[in-house]
Structure 1
Amino acid sequence: MNTSTDPKPAPRTKPSEHGEPLRQLVAGEEPGSSHLGARLRGYFLTGLIVVGPVAITVYVVWWFINLVDAWVKPIVPPQYLPEHYLPFSVPGVGLILGITGVMVVGALTANLFGRTLVSYSEMMLARMPIVRSVYRTLKQIFETVLSKNGGSFKRVGLIEFPRRGLYAIVFLAGEPPLEVDEKIGDGNPMITVFMPNGPNPTTGFIIFVQASEVIPLDLSVEDAAKLVVSAGLVAPDQQERLRELAKRKPKPVHEEEPVV
């Protein structure tokens, strides 16, 4: 006769209702501290995204207004400035006067008298050894950039750089000088491109490349500049719209559910 009895199961211990807070206190954490910290960090980053661009924009605009005021106000007679009649300084007066002066010069240059004065002024500058080279270079740059019919920096492309299989964004600047085209073109049409350095697009490389090696893009110059300045973090708006359209694309006919 088997007199052995089954061992009694070990009594279950009731979990402590305060076990989790106790472990947090032992670990040196406060209940809900991580959740609260994550929420505060999210609030801070969201506020920074909203306030940062506005603050930087206001700072740049204010700096530009003060810069123009510092240039224009000293050459304006004091009796024509609001500070002569008001006990405080009015910002932006120099900027308004500067814009008005540039418009007046443009209007005068459009007639015969203004063109005559400009031609005589250019003749005087052309006789100065150092000033004439600086003036001609700056005039050519301004005429090329601000010309309505100019095609510079209005298209964006890709070239393989620094090796095959790697591509860099370039801005198409136009045709290269005739001497460059004759010596390295070898009968193939050449093009001048500017490859900016990110995140500072004001520096870069001027490259002469065959037109067949440039891959044109449908990106605007503004979208390409955003891509360069943000080091590739900000995608062009066009790409975002294409992604949204792809998500909303209707299903093919064979994938649609049959109508019952």
Structure 2
Amino acid sequence: MKKYFFTGLVLILPLTVTVILLVFVLDLLTEPFVGMVKDLFLTFKHQLGPLTKHPKLLLFIGRVTVLLLMLISIFFLGFLGRRFFFKYLHEKMNAILERIPIVRRVYRITREITKSVLSGDKKPFGKPVYIPFPHTRSVAIGFETGHVPKEAEMEGIELRSVFIPTAPHPISGFVLLTRKDDISPLDISAEEILKFLVSCGTYHFEDKNAQSHADSGADKPAETD
């Protein structure tokens, strides 16, 4: 019975986590606009008929509608962004936002994070590493993200910034400024590290040495007597 239970858990847990994350992202993106779409639907309640009597279904349809409209708007803005006139307006809008005292800080941070994550020239995360954390008797897996600001440098000590994701949701974590000598590289892909974190440490990393031996053995021709 225990084996059947854990087998079913292994099958259903990834799907459940995926659905929960998708619902969370859907709610996060559509929450500011879903009320307006829902009110718009209610103005056509005679045309929608019995649909207006099911508020949960109406809310779901409203969220999906908002998401589709957002995707269409993003593609449309990207298309316009390739044109000179819209590029000119975008530059003017940037100049205006940069002059607003409080807004400009939020705008700058959001713009830099978006460029860093979506840029095709640079990966959002650096190379996988592990460092002593939260004390010297244990280590944590993370990503070396680059050099530290000059204001945070220590005299005679070379520092690096390292992002330590949390489990089971690696979208949050800690940004540490640590000594370069305390950073040890890991020969593991970022995808495997994320799997390890999401599984709360139950995911087993692939043995690359064993895999290479298996591949070399498969390529080696069989000996004949």
TM-score (norm 1): 0.64
More helix by share: 2
Check if 1:208 corresponds to 2:178.
Answer: yes
1:64-116 Cα shifts (integer Å, max 9, x gaps): 4455444445556948x998854434362221111111111122122211211
CA distance in 2 between partners of 1:64 and 1:168 (Å): 27
Instruction: Please report how far the alpha carbon of residue 155 of structure 1 lies from its aligned counterpart in structure 2 after TM superposition.
Output: 1.8
Which residue identity does 1:219 align to in structure 2? Answer: I
For structure 1, the residue ranges without an aligned partner over 5 or more in a row are 1-39, 251-258
Amino acid at match of 1:233: T
Q: How does 1:85-124 map to 2 (within 5 A)?
A: 85-87=47-49, 88=51, 89=58, 90=61, 92-124=64-96
1:226 to 185, 195, 202: 195
Map residues 1-260 of structure 1 onto 2, 5 A cutoff. 40-74=1-35, 78=40, 85-87=47-49, 88=51, 89=58, 90=61, 92-161=64-133, 162-163=135-136, 166-181=138-153, 183-186=154-157, 190-201=159-170, 202-210=172-180, 212-236=181-205, 238-239=206-207, 243=210
* Identity score, percent: 27
Secondary structure, counterpart of 1:103 in structure 2: helix
Offset from partner CA, 1:127-184 (integer Å, 9 cap, x none): 2211111111111111112211124414201224432x74321201112223444x43
How far apart in 1 are the matches of 2:99 and 2:32?
A: 27
Q: Is the 8 A contact 2:129 2:144 kept in 1?
A: yes
Asked if structure 2 preserves the Cα contact closer than 8 Å seen for 1:195 and 1:207, the reply is: no
Structure 1 176/113 Cα, relative in aligned 2: closer, same or farther at 3 Å?
same
Measure the CA separation in 2 of the matches of 1:145 and 1:42: 41
Question: What is the alpha-carbon distance in structure 1 between the residues aligned to residue 67 and residue 12 of structure 2?
Answer: 26
Contact 1:152–1:174 (Cα < 8 Å) also in 2: no
Contact 1:194–1:205 (CA under 8 A) maintained in structure 2: yes
- Tell me which amino acid in the other structure corresponds to 2:73: G
- Residue 86 of structure 2: SS of its match in structure 1? helix
Q: Deviations over 1:44-70 (max 9, x none)?
A: 332232223323323433454455444
TM-score (norm 2): 0.72
Evaluate the alpha carbon distance shift between residue 169 and residue 65 of structure 1 in structure 2; reply closer, same or farther with a 3 A threshold.
closer
Distance in 2 between residues matched to 1:205 and 1:64, nearest whole Å: 23
Is the CA contact 2:163–2:173 (under 8 Å) kept in the aligned structure 1? no
Secondary structure, counterpart of 1:134 in structure 2: helix
Q: Which has the larger radius of gyration?
A: 1
Say which SS state the counterpart of residue 76 (structure 2) adopts. Answer: helix
Aligned-partner Cα distance in 2 for 1:198–1:63:
17
1:197/1:203 contact within 8 Å kept: yes
Find the residue that maps to 1:92 and give its secondary structure: helix
Aligned residues: 206
**SS in structure 1 of the partner of residue 130 of structure 2:** strand
* Stretch deviating more after TM superposition (100-109 or 68-77): 68-77
Cα distance between partner residues in 2 of 1:83 and 1:63: 28
Q: Which consecutive unaligned segments of at least 5 residues does structure 2 have?
A: 52-57, 218-224
Which has the larger displacement, 60-69 or 126-135? 60-69
For 1:171, give the aligned amino acid: F
Taking the aligned partners of 1:149 and 1:84, their CA distance within structure 2 comes to 52
